[in-house]
Structure 1
Amino acid sequence: MIGKGHSIARTGASIGYGWNQEKDAEVVLKEYLAGDTPEEITEEFKIIQSQNERCINNTLSFILSPTIEDGRDLSVRDLEEISKKFLKEMNLQNNQSIGFVHRDKAHTHVHIYTNRIGFDGKAYNDSFIGKRSQLAADNVAKELGLTRVREVQQDKLQELNPQRQAIKYIHEKVMENRPKSLDEYISKMKANQVTVIPSINKSNQLQGFRFEYNGVNLKGSDVHRSMTGAKLIGEISQNLGYSRMKEVPNSLKLKDKTVQLSTNMAASIAKGLVKQVIKKSLDAGIGF
């Protein structure tokens, strides 16, 4: 089961979407609420939210998505139990909440809207709410014997083994020629039908790489643990003769654009370089 969550300001519109009858919506959860329409529920939310006018994104929106197979067998009562356990994991069991199941597609999923403002007028801390939602949903899936995200991911990677092995083989062949820059590496991978896609965040920091081959798009670590961003850049740095932490650049040229390396990535690259230097010295019989 997958869990997603974020804070929103569009309370009425979101609850109206959740209650959309065209999506075969059914109410599966109603906590500390009496209304029977989206408008009535929204007004009840607003009464509590009026105690804390400083909080703009004052509603929490969650989506719980069991696997297609699990979703087929889940009743309204089952989905209510899942929703309540999820809210408890998030420490939101005492806040107003309304939940709907949508069965208009093969993938059954539940939309939960929770008042971010508690009855005490305090706003719920939404830091890292996306990650926390994932963990809470995984804990509930584990407790109830539902398929967990890790199991789904492992099954998917197993199915994509031929493509993963092909990408890794091409990567190894390209690295045998010791490319001296990321652009050179990306160009040579492209010549072998693998598109390398840099993952760059809003702060212009390089997070890693994705690899697209034969209709499949995978992040480096899903291809193989040796193909993370830090390890790839570390190998190319070795080709340039870098061997010490102070030599690891904090920025790189990538397609005529300068991107930054996060502190963690730079440290990981440096650690990898040091390990390689030690290994080469030991292999050569040089003592320290």
Structure 2
Amino acid sequence: MIGYVGTGGSFLGCIQYCLNDKKELSEKQKADLSQKDGLKHHGRAEILSYNRCFGNPKELAQQFRDVAKLSKRVEKPVFHFSLRLAPGESLSRNQLEEIGHECAKEFGVANNQYICVLHKDTSEQHIHIVANRVGLDGKAASDSNSYKRMAALCRRLEKQYQLREVLSPKAFLTPNERLLPRNDSRKIQLQKDIRQALIEVNSFDQFTTRMKELGYTILKGRGIAFIDSKKVKIKGSEVGFSLSKIEHVLALKQKLNNNLAEHEKYKKATEERVKKHKSTGYRLSLDVKFESMIGQSPFIPTIMEAASLLSVLLKSELPFELIPYELTMEGYRNRKRKERSKGRRLHN
């Protein structure tokens, strides 16, 4: 389970975000996404519970504001929480409502005004709680150590509801726990997208265009960072692709492509020379000579070196379309077998 906690000054803005459909999507887009994803993009929000409040967003916001006026010292009276289950996990409506109440209790607002809302536009179940930090008695709930408290709440709820356990943020772990491997699906996906984009493109402009098509905003300065569709910013270095590494990969690809082009020219020129001297009597020996001459191309060492470095930098096997089959290890071995076979036939 992953939790979020934040404070703010606008009850209406927070409540509208939680209750209203996404304004940036048209009705057709919502319908298309609903059919594609099997999720609710229209009518995505369902209120699980009202606590000491009622009504539509404007009415709720006014009620919250009226109570918040009881404390003149609180500049940010809005408490906003969200709790998201891991992929593949699900709880009943009543259980999610219970979790919302546990969250309100943990942060001292169980007796304050709050609403608990279920969102249905993602594959992972998640709820939002909008609460008033100011109670009916005029006292304000503390927002200190909120991230640490949220992490502790998530670990407790995971055990209580037998959910998949997730590591808390590193700041709240013991030194030994910080050494445990973490599984961040957002970073894993970004890493895959960067790797695939680098395989597909040949220049930095093409790379930025491809990443934008995948839904990322790119920030480039002394380093590089990516902002995904959820407005989460991740540095390239955090997923193993710093700006210098990306530029190195693209430079190697340019070098590889240039040498492949030169190799093709060499191959065609060799083929033309062999054709001029070809006759029926020497056909077989010239075929062997041609294969040998291609294998002696001065561009092959550079091509193999660049391909090997690319494979290491991308930490994956390069697809065959980047390198002609004859220059792959399998193609090289196959060519050598043919040369040996033809050589034996000449001697017989």
Q: When the two structures are superposed, what TM-score results if normalisation uses the length of structure 1?
A: 0.52
Q: Structure 1, residues 150-193: CA drift from partner, whole Å, max 9, x if none?
A: 29x85728xx8xx9xxxxxxxxxxxxxxxxxxxxxxxxxxxxxx
Q: Distance between the aligned counterparts of 1:154 and 1:119, measured in 2?
A: 45
Residue-by-residue CA offset, 1:195-246 (whole Å, 9 max, x unaligned): x99xxxxxxxxxxxx654269xxxxxxxxxxxxxxxxxxxxxxxxxxxxxxx
Which runs of structure 1 show a deviation greater than 6 angstroms over 4 or more consecutive aligned residues?
none
CA distance in 1, matches of 2:181, 2:239: 19
Output one character per residue of 1:104-158: Cα deviation in whole Å (capped at 9) or x when no partner. 121221110110001111111111212212221221222121122229x85728x
Distance 1:46 1:116 in 2: 11
1:150 is paired with a residue whose SS is: coil
**CA pair 141-29 structure 1, distance change in 2 beyond 3 A:** farther
Q: Please say if residues 8 and 60 of structure 1, whose CA atoms lie closer than 8 Å, have aligned partners that are also in contact.
A: yes
CA contact under 8 A between 1:23 and 1:102: conserved in structure 2? no
CA RMSD after TM alignment: 3.2
Please name the residue that 1:263 is paired with.
Answer: none
SS at match of 1:68: coil
**Aligned partners of 1:135, 1:10: CA distance in 2, in Å?**
27
What amino acid is aligned across from residue 156 of structure 1 in structure 2? Answer: N
Q: Residues 224-276 of structure 1, C-alpha deviation per residue, up to 9 Å, x if partnerless?
A: xxxxxxxxxxxxxxxxxxxxxxxxxxxxxxxxxxxxxxxxxxxxxxxxxxxxx
Q: Of Structure 1 and Structure 2, which has the larger fraction of its residues in strand? A: 1
State the SS of the aligned residue for 1:138.
helix
| 1:249-268 equivalence runs, <5 A | none
- Structure 2 alignment gaps of length 5 or more: 22-41, 169-179, 192-222, 225-236, 243-348
- Equivalent of 2:147 in 124, 130, 141: 130
| Partner amino acid, structure 2, of 1:47 | D
Separation in 1, partners of 2:62, 2:17: 16
Q: How many angstroms apart in 2 are the aligned matches of 1:135 and 1:66?
A: 15
* Corresponding position: 1:111 with 2:128: yes
1:156 is matched with 183
Match for residue 25 of structure 1 among 22, 45, 50: 45
Secondary structure at 1:29 match in 2? strand
Which structure would you say has the larger RCO, counting Cα contacts within 8 Å and 6 or more residues apart? 1
Aligned counterparts of 2:165 and 2:155: Cα–Cα separation in 1:
6
Scaled by the length of structure 2, what TM-score is found? 0.43
Three-state SS of the structure 1 residue aligned to 2:76 is coil
Q: Which has the larger radius of gyration?
A: 2
Identify unmatched segments of 5+ residues in structure 1: 164-195, 198-209, 216-288
Matches within 5 A, 1:81-96: 81-96=98-113
* Match in the other structure for 1:68: 87
Q: How many residues align?
A: 168
Q: How far apart, in 1, do the equivalents of 2:131 and 2:73 lie? A: 18
Aligned to 1:12: 12
* TM-aligned CA deviation for residue 75 of structure 1: 2.5
Report the CA distance between 1:93 and its aligned residue: 1.4
Counting helix residues as a fraction of each chain, which structure ranks higher? 2
The verdict on how the C-alpha distance between 1:63 and 1:23 changes in structure 2, with shifts beyond 3 A counting, is: farther
